[in-house]
Structure 1
Amino acid sequence: MSSTSQLAKRFREVLLDGLWIANTNFKDQLKDVTWEQATIKIGSLNTIAMLTFHIDYYIAGLVNVFEGGDLEIRDQYSFDLPPIDSQEQWENLLNKLWKDSERFASLLAQMPDSKMNEVFIDEKYGTYLRNIDGMIEHAYYHLGQITLIKKLLIN
């Protein structure tokens, strides 16, 4: 299996279907969350909806680069979630995350292994490999937060 296929598999595990590292994934954790639960603010924590938007913001930004576009995402906008006032809006956000995640994994699996050592947009960002590994680690970080927030909501 190529390195890029292995990375795509790791990415899918955290977002869509894996159980290996955290014994869960985004899709599993978010499948039964209502829009009301997703938007409840607990203390100073981000909401589940904000974290969902945040992780998709970065995934969609990298997909754009993978498809030949510019790096248009900026950290300062990564939590700019539009208001969610209905189950339909929440489900639209979730569907966007699943679609963007599938696209990310598919594009990554198609990349040649040699691409992993190339500079990602600008030398200050490091290589493709560094950014893809970072995306996977970033996703696990926020998956942990979502899991804990769900537990707080239930209790």
Structure 2
Amino acid sequence: MAHQLANRFREVILNGTWIANTNWEKELSNTNFLTATSKISDLNRIADLTYHILYYIKGINSFFKTGKLDIKDSESFQTPPLSNESDWENLKNELFNQAELFAENIENLSNEQLESTFFDPKYGTYKRNIEGQIEHAYYHLGQVVLLRKLIV
């Protein structure tokens, strides 16, 4: 089961096309700095959505390593300043690297761990939280696709 979940996660971030006919890596590889940082009305920028997804993946990766969950919803859209194409490339690369690490962390979970409590009972199981990350990534991927169409 862990391997299947890891592959579902990889599909949305790194390499799949089954559900949305695209993935984060495909969409962001065709998105330059100016497009990523373009603001439309009060909508989030592509860069903000990228950071938002990275924030949660990175936070859960840290939990896998330390057992501490230090992420806060209030900080999930605090995108660091991006000044140029290099900053944007670094953000994208960090997302892709953290996503692969996340998938590897999932693969290391036993079926028993997947069904066990994630950090606190109010969050449910590991499996529920991993599935939540997959759904969350698809939700915001749809926003990225729409933003790209509005900007480009």
- Could you tell me the TM-score, scaled by structure 1's length? 0.96
Task: Map 1:1-155 onto structure 2 (within 5 A).
Answer: 3-154=1-152
CA distance in 1, matches of 2:133, 2:104: 15
Following TM superposition, by how much is the alpha carbon of 1:43 offset from its aligned partner in structure 2, in angstroms? 1.1
SS at match of 2:77: coil
Alpha-carbon offset, residue 68 of structure 1: 3.1
Moved more, 64-73 or 23-32: 64-73
Counterpart CA distance in 2 for 1:111 and 1:68 is: 15
Which amino acid is 2:143 matched to?
Answer: Q
Q: How many aligned positions are there?
A: 152
2-structure distance, mates of 1:129, 1:68: 19
Task: For residues 25-72 of structure 1, give each alpha carbon's deviation from its aligned partner in whole angstroms, at most 9, with x where no partner exists.
Answer: 000000021111101011111000000000000000111111233100
Q: Deviations over 1:1-23 (max 9, x none)?
A: xx000000000000000000000
1:102-134 Cα deviation digits (max 9, x unpaired): 000011112111111111101111111110010
Aligned with 1:67: secondary structure? Answer: helix
Distance 1:22 1:32 in 2: 16
Instruction: Please report the RMSD computed on the Cα atoms of aligned residues, expressed in angstroms.
Output: 0.7
Same amino acid, percent of matched pairs: 49
Stretches of structure 2 that go unaligned for 5 or more consecutive residues are none
Q: 3-state DSSP class of the match of 1:43? A: coil
* Moved >3 Å (runs of 4+): none
1:55-105 CA-partner distances (Å, limit 9, x unpaired): 000000111111233100000000001111100000010010011000000
